[in-house]
Amino acid sequence: MAAELVRGQNHPLTQTRLEIRVSAGHPVVAGATLADDRGTVHGVERVAHPGAPALPGLEVPRQAAADHRLAVDLDAMPQDVHRVTVLLALPVGTGGPTRFGAVAAPFVAVTGLDGAEQASYTVTDLDSESAVVALELYRRQGAWKVRAIGQGYADGLAALLADQGVPDARALAGTIHDAVAQGLARAVAPPPRTADESQVRAVAAAGHASGALPPTPAAPAADGPSGSIDYSHPRRQAPPPPPTAQPAEPGKPAAPVAGDATGWTMEERLYNQVWGMFEDLARTTAAYRSAVDFADSRMEQELDRILSGLSDPRSRIGSQGDAAREAARAKHGALVDRAREALDRDLAQLAAESEVVEPALPTPYAGWDNPCWHAYRSPMENPMAVRLGELRLPESDSAGLRIPMLVRLPLERGLWIDAGASAGDVLSDADSLRARAAHTAVLHVARLLAAYPAGEFSVHVIDPAGTATGALAPLVDAGVLAGPPARGAAGVSETLTRLTERVDLVQMAIRAGAADSLSPDVDTAEQLLVVHDFPHGFDDRAITRLRYLADEGPRVGVHLMLVANRTDAAGYGPLLDPLWRALLRLTPVPDDHLADPWVGHTWTYEPPTVPHGSAVLRQVLAEVAKARQERRL
Domain that holds residue 104: 3-205
- Does residue 239 lie in a domain region? no
Closest CA to 606 of 421, 425, 404, 391: 391
Question: What's residue 408's pLDDT?
Answer: 92
Question: What's residue 194's pLDDT?
Answer: 35
- Does residue 355 lie in a domain region? yes
**Backbone torsion region of residue 121, taken as left when φ is above 0, otherwise alpha when ψ lies between -120 and 50, otherwise beta:** beta
Q: What is the CATH number of the domain that holds 196?
A: 2.60.60.30
Same-domain check for residues 549 and 462: yes
Most confidently predicted of 42-46, 199-203, 325-329, 528-532: 528-532
Report d(CA 19, CA 116) in Å as an integer: 10
Confidence of residue 260 (pLDDT cuts 50, 70, 90): confident
Same-domain check for residues 479 and 625: yes
Same-domain check for residues 422 and 356: no
Confidence of residue 253 (pLDDT cuts 50, 70, 90): low
Same-domain check for residues 424 and 500: yes
| 167 DSSP 8-state letter | T
Count structural domains, the chain. Answer: 3
Tens of pLDDT, residues 326-346? 888 888 898 899 989 999 999
Same-domain check for residues 160 and 292: no
Same-domain check for residues 44 and 177: yes
Question: What's residue 395's pLDDT?
Answer: 92
Average pLDDT over the chain, rounded to an integer: 83
Tens of pLDDT, residues 586-609? 999 999 888 876 677 889 999 999
Most confidently predicted of 137-141, 238-242, 427-431: 137-141
Same-domain check for residues 324 and 459: no
Question: What's residue 202's pLDDT?
Answer: 28
Distance of CA 42 to the CA centre of its chain: 18
This prediction's pTM: 0.62
Same-domain check for residues 200 and 274: no
- Does residue 37 lie in a domain region? yes
Confidence of residue 7 (pLDDT cuts 50, 70, 90): confident
Report d(CA 546, CA 464) in Å as an integer: 14
Contacts of 446 (CB under 8 A, 6+ apart): 474, 475, 617, 620, 621, 624
Question: What's residue 513's pLDDT?
Answer: 78
Same-domain check for residues 575 and 441: yes
Question: What's residue 210's pLDDT?
Answer: 28
Question: What's residue 424's pLDDT?
Answer: 53
Same-domain check for residues 287 and 149: no
Same-domain check for residues 593 and 485: yes
- Does residue 133 lie in a domain region? yes
- Does residue 548 lie in a domain region? yes
Domain termination site, one of 173, 205, 237: 205
Same-domain check for residues 59 and 192: yes
Of residues 320 and 364, more confidence is placed in 364
What DSSP string runs through 335-376? HHHHHHHHHHHHHHHHHHHHHHHGGG--TTTS-TTSGGGGG-
Question: What's residue 412's pLDDT?
Answer: 87
* E strand or H helix at 272: helix 266-308
Confidence of residue 185 (pLDDT cuts 50, 70, 90): very low
- Does residue 257 lie in a domain region? no
Q: What is the CATH number of the domain that holds 442?
A: 3.40.50
Domain termination site, one of 180, 205, 230: 205
- Does residue 372 lie in a domain region? no
Most confidently predicted of 96-100, 512-516, 529-533: 529-533
